[in-house]
Chains A and B, each alone.
Chain A
Amino acid sequence: MQANDAQTLVLCVLAEGPLHGYAINTAIEELTGRRLGPGSLYGALTRLETKGLIESLDESGRQRPVQLTPQGRQVLERELRAMERVAAAGLRNLGAHPA
């Protein structure tokens, strides 16, 4: 996964709690400044569900909220730690201090 990868972004915003598709995209827009395209968003949700990293809750109206599974939390934390190490090394090489 990469920092701007749709699946990583979805996992990141779901770390705060269950959300439905539209709310996930709104949270991603707040995080990155732009919304994911519908094809990317629901493609990412489908793949994350297939991998067992998210699970759906009961349908509420037209929307179906999803939440992280325990395995999803583990994978997200591992990926973010890896990105953190890479970012820290890159900033160190640039002579910049981490924010």
Chain B
Amino acid sequence: MLVRLYPAAFRSRWGPALEGEIGTGGWKAWPNVLAGIADMWLHPVVWPAESCTQRYRRAATMAVAVSAVCWFITHAVMELHAPLPVKTAGSWPMSVCSLLMLLGLALVAPRPRMTLNAVIAVVRCAAARFAVPVALGAGVVVCVDTGAYTAAPTLLRPVLLACWWTALALAAIQSCRIVAAFGQAVVVPPRPGRLKLGLWVLAAAVTAPGPILLHASTTNGHLDLLSAASGAGLLVLVPAFAGTLYDIRHLSPAD
């Protein structure tokens, strides 16, 4: 069962042999296997691959996923958590972080090939994947704009709020799935130089909100635990970029 927790590419390459080793080691081998599983999920570039292009696409997917998590945590804390000073959300460092994140995503994202079939495939996939989150989000916006939100019974308001954040979370997840979905026939993966630059930019964009939230968590004279935990949590994401940049640097030249 533990083998199934490894990424599919790893399983198809080493699965049967790994199962044998785990069987030989017994339960004493489990901690090492669990550490190995975490290690592999944190380093998608080293998974068995047919080409360097496939590794670059995985790095791009990882970068989009980590950025999406950072964006979601930062906005959830700033918009839902009242004790955090409102001026933090609109401060220029946060605006710079958002711009950096957009720039980084533009650099790492694969681009559709300029053929009609490729563009249609991308648009169709994006429409299918974003249909649910867009419908959810649009429903909440309509409720707020028509005044239904304020008129709604008190019990219904948290449900609408949950729908809004679920829509944002789903949109973030689907963005990662779209980046991962297409092969070389449809999209052009980023070149190594552009990918590395994008990873550096995203690393900066993801790192900065951590200290900002940590600083904001202590500005009122007492420690705000949720903001502090979120700031610390964002800093934990940064090694994912460092690891990916390291892995890309050590790829085989003949790959």
Q: B39 to A43, Cβ gap below 8 A?
A: yes
Contacts A46-B10, A52-B255: A62 and B36 contacting too (C-beta < 8 A)? no
Q: A22 to B250, Cβ gap below 8 A?
A: no
From B11-19, B140-148, B149-157, B163-171, the one touching the partner chain is: B11-19
Q: B252 to A50, Cβ gap below 8 A?
A: yes
Residues of B with C-beta under 8 A to A38: 18, 21-22, 25, 29, 32-33, 36
Interface size on A, residues (CB 8 A): 24
Q: B247 to A37, Cβ gap below 8 A?
A: no
B213 within 8 A of A: no
Interface size on B, residues (CB 8 A): 33
Q: A22 to B20, Cβ gap below 8 A?
A: yes
Residues of A with C-beta under 8 A to B10: 42, 46
| Contact mask for chain A residues 30-59; partner B; CB cutoff 8 A; 1 contact, 0 none | 000001011111110111011111000000
B253 within 8 A of A: yes
Chain B residue with Cβ nearest A37: B32
| Cα distance, A10 to B40, chains bound together (Å) | 18
| Cα distance, A56 to B28, chains bound together (Å) | 28
Chain A residue with Cβ nearest B16: A62
B45 within 8 A of A: yes
| Cα distance, A41 to B39, chains bound together (Å) | 12
* A51-99, CB < 8 A from B: 51-53, 62-64, 71
Q: A52 to B36, Cβ gap below 8 A?
A: no
Q: B17 to A21, Cβ gap below 8 A?
A: yes
A20, A43, A50: the one within 8 Å of B17 (CB)? A20
Contacts A21-B18, A38-B21: A47 and B46 contacting too (C-beta < 8 A)? yes
B251 within 8 A of A: yes
B114 within 8 A of A: no
Quote the shortest CB–CB distance from B3 to chain A (angstroms). Answer: 9
Q: A50 to B21, Cβ gap below 8 A?
A: no
Q: A39 to B34, Cβ gap below 8 A?
A: yes
Q: B36 to A40, Cβ gap below 8 A?
A: yes
Residues of B with C-beta under 8 A to A39: 29, 32-37, 39
B47 within 8 A of A: yes
Residues of A with C-beta under 8 A to B37: 39
Residues of A with C-beta under 8 A to B21: 21-22, 25, 38, 41-42
List 10 additional A-B contacts (Cβ < 8 Å) besides A22-B17, A42-B18, A51-B251: A21-B21, A37-B35, A38-B21, A39-B39, A42-B36, A46-B10, A46-B47, A50-B252, A52-B252, A71-B252
Which 4 A-B pairs rank lowest in CB-CB distance, beginning with the nearest?
A: A39-B36, A37-B32, A52-B252, A38-B21
